[in-house]
Structure 1
Amino acid sequence: MPPSKPIRVGFIGLSTSGWAADALAPSLISLKNDYDLVALSTSSEASAAVSAAKYSADVGHPITAYSGDTSKIANDPQHRPRRGLGQDPMHKQLLTPVIEAKKDFFIEWPAGRNLQETQEFAELARKNGVRSIVGLQGRSSRVVAKLKEIIASGNIGAVRSTSIIATLPQEGEFWPPLVHEGMAYTIVESNGATLLSIPIGHILDNFAQIMGDFASVNATSTLFHKTATIIDVKTRQPTGKTLPMTHPDHISVSGVLKSGAFASLFWRSGYKMTPGRRRFLWEIDGDEGSIRVESDHMLGPMMSMFDPAIYVNGEKVEYVEEGTVGGSMHNVTEAWKAFVSGEEGKYPTIDDAVKNHKLLAGIRKSLDEGRVVRFE
């Protein structure tokens, strides 16, 4: 049941630009009857003051600003019922005090830097009796719902195989050869912000919702762009600094699903957005027909953010009502709604993040050991 009063929220890592500012905060603030943003925390006192001024105007009342150690905002008594949000690449350092303060939390995917860290969050959440929601907002997308509906209808018969080709172009400046300075942490594999963990992790979560789980995976990879040229955030020009790339920019995963269907998935990054280069193509083939999902948006492979086109047996399927908000704003808003209503299974939790990380860990094991990895 929804709470009788709006959930009072403290938001860690809320600046005036970026993903949190563009999608997470606006969607949260739009649900005024369900959530009330009352505090925020950033890395510095100056940035916290700027952010607090902006969002105080947005919500119509003063927001308390914190900076530095997240135990300060975690223990703020004005969060009642006890709720907290954590969103930052340094998740363990930032989130642990929130859970220990027994406050429910949101955490952006990939949650922990790896499976072990994500499992630690899940165990700590159970120990402290708190609820969680994870930024795998693609689960709320219209495209996931529509693809499940089409397959369940039997229109294409039993699914026998599926394939994905996805490209993250260099103009995105997330991974080499060009990386803007605010994203330089993505170059170091141990930071947990790799091609595998973020875009592939997102789509594999959506993939599992639609196609079911993998029974086995066999993965290969290579690295073409071994050096990253760092780009100035404001001028978009090279800073003169370069850094070594530490993880693959091409990853191929094949395997058999528990349904018996065969899957072949290929991701690549670093290519220019030249005319005709496909950004995202997903085909699902059944005995009686096929589904094609495609997008030429720069970040088209991110179905959690953008609504691709769907074709069934060559005919386009309209599934986003004209004039309605789609993409990331729709997906995040629906996830917030499901959380406040307590609709278990309707929003992703830290336990769902653990499950997704287990698949990624299996893929990494296959890459490291050069063999097929099977799942129970």
Structure 2
Amino acid sequence: MTQDKIRIGIIGLKPDESWAGVAHVPSLKLLSDDYEITGVANSNLESSKAAAEALGIPNAFDNADALIASPDIDAVTVTITVPQHIKVVRAALNAGKHVYCEAPLGNGLAEAEEMADLARSKDLVAVVGLQARVSPPVLYMRKLIAEGFVGRVLSSSLSGWGGNWGATASNISRLGYLLDKSNGATMLTIPLGHTIAAVCDVLGDFTEISAMLDTRVRNVKSEDDGQILEQTAPDQILVTARLEQDVPLSIHYQGGMPNGTEGFVWDIHGTDGDLRVTAPFGHSQMAQLSLSGAKAGDGELKPLEVPETYCEGLTADPVPGNVARNYARMAKDFRTGNRAASTFDDAVGVQRVIDAIERASESGARVHLEPRDRPLPLNAKDHLA
């Protein structure tokens, strides 16, 4: 890559509908000094042309391989279903293209490890979309804990609603595959997976895990046409764990949306105070997070305003903002050789925890892990006040 702007090709883009359309395209437009979207590839040329025309993208390709082979593409954004990730990512890396892949990186730990090993061997910038890690409230909470706001962390608890994986589901043609656990795109790997990445940055990596995964709703009614679909993905996730510094953690995620209660609550209790993060639902990577805290003796939690610097010069809106913060770090990684954005190796760390949760649930035994988490810099320059 010799030109100033990074030329991005997006695989899996439907304007105003797909995640690429509502999050990646707006994010890249916020970073127009760093990126130019120069190509799109969908499942067929007609769909690619429609997306390109709607968004003013100069090149439409009839498949992913054609986009990857194009000399007009420096980096490939992969926003297709999880089972398709490994083939496309492997092809892009082997072609010498840098990659931004949505999380989870692979359908299981082995696929993630293969892609991370390949990216490392090719010495390419390989970024995964673990954007909850760069959410401003999460970054600020990390700073508060490091500065001793809660004192010594005694424990943490986390509960969330998955949004999907409940009694009903919509947009089945695009999202129905989430109900099948064999596809690797479940409540465990998506909303909880993103949240696990943030937990590790804030409190340290997992060292011990016990878990129970259960599917309580096995028949899901489609809101689109009323048909009944089978669900094999877990809609109940219960985890007890120990983190570094011996911090105990409890987790409960469940499918669907809450009825009159908060959809996401993350509490951190310490010797000198408490912190709480709340949101309407459990996708911490795209929900609007609210941070509150109290020092010992205060008697009640009070809202904590996140300083503007933690937005890193980008919108606080979490959908385009968090993705844009990841892309901004990726652009700096291109130019500096650093790793300020979430890497494929970071994705492997998250999938190690997910794999351990699955093994603990299957065996009923406690699973032990060696800490390997790499906390992100607080920002690309690591100098936030």
TM-score using structure 1 length: 0.89
Q: Distance in 2 between matches of 1:124 and 1:346?
A: 19
**SS state at 1:278 partner:** coil
CA offsets 1:150-177 (integer angstroms, 9 cap, x no match) = 1111122100100012123xxx4x3232
| Residue 116 of structure 1, CA deviation | 0.7
Q: Distance in 2 between matches of 1:373 and 1:94?
A: 32
Among candidates 173, 178, 183, match of residue 168 of structure 2: 178
| Cα contact 2:191–2:284 (8 A) shared by 1 | no
| Residue 345 of structure 1, CA deviation | 3.8
2:320 is equivalent to residue 333 of structure 1: no
Q: Distance in 2 between matches of 1:3 and 1:165?
A: 47
**SS state at 1:127 partner:** helix
CA offsets 1:99-154 (integer angstroms, 9 cap, x no match) = 12110011000011111111111122223332111111112111111111111111
Q: Distance in 1 between matches of 2:19 and 2:137?
A: 21
Unpaired segments of 5 or more residues in structure 2?
295-300, 371-385
| Cα contact 2:277–2:290 (8 A) shared by 1 | yes
Residue in 2 aligned with 1:63?
58
| Cα contact 2:45–2:61 (8 A) shared by 1 | yes
**SS state at 2:239 partner:** strand
Residue in 2 aligned with 1:302?
283
Q: Distance in 2 between matches of 1:338 and 1:240?
A: 43
Residue in 2 aligned with 1:317?
304
Unpaired segments of 5 or more residues in structure 1?
57-61, 233-238
Write the letter of the residue equivalent to 1:308: L
CA RMSD, 1 decimal: 1.9
**SS state at 1:209 partner:** helix
2:176 is equivalent to residue 192 of structure 1: no
| Cα contact 1:41–1:65 (8 A) shared by 2 | yes
CA offsets 1:186-208 (integer angstroms, 9 cap, x no match) = 01111111110101100000000
Residue in 1 aligned with 2:259?
274
Among candidates 346, 349, 354, match of residue 355 of structure 1: 349
**SS state at 1:259 partner:** helix
| Residue 240 of structure 1, CA deviation | 3.9
Aligned residues: 352
Q: Distance in 1 between matches of 2:146 and 2:89?
A: 39
Residue in 1 aligned with 2:297?
none
Q: Distance in 1 between matches of 2:226 and 2:244?
A: 49
Residue in 2 aligned with 1:235?
none
Residue in 2 aligned with 1:20?
20
CA offsets 1:6-44 (integer angstroms, 9 cap, x no match) = 011111111112211111111112212211111110012
2:249 is equivalent to residue 263 of structure 1: yes
Write the letter of the residue equivalent to 1:11: I
2:126 is equivalent to residue 139 of structure 1: no
| Cα contact 2:242–2:248 (8 A) shared by 1 | yes
| Residue 3 of structure 1, CA deviation | 6.9
Among candidates 217, 225, 228, match of residue 220 of structure 2: 228
| Cα contact 2:130–2:194 (8 A) shared by 1 | yes
| Residue 324 of structure 1, CA deviation | 5.0
Q: Stretches of 4+ moved more than 6 A in 1?
A: none
2:366 is equivalent to residue 366 of structure 1: no
**SS state at 2:237 partner:** strand
Write the letter of the residue equivalent to 1:112: G
2:29 is equivalent to residue 29 of structure 1: yes
**SS state at 1:195 partner:** coil
Q: Distance in 2 between matches of 1:333 and 1:267?
A: 27
| Cα contact 1:155–1:288 (8 A) shared by 2 | yes
| Residue 67 of structure 1, CA deviation | 2.2
CA offsets 1:278-301 (integer angstroms, 9 cap, x no match) = 211111110111112212x2x3x2
TM-score using structure 2 length: 0.87
Q: Distance in 2 between matches of 1:200 and 1:308?
A: 15
| Residue 91 of structure 1, CA deviation | 1.1
| Cα contact 1:74–1:97 (8 A) shared by 2 | yes
Change (3 A) 1:126 1:324: closer
Write the letter of the residue equivalent to 2:351: H
Write the letter of the residue equivalent to 2:62: S
**SS state at 2:246 partner:** coil
**SS state at 1:196 partner:** coil
2:187 is equivalent to residue 203 of structure 1: no
Write the letter of the residue equivalent to 1:286: G
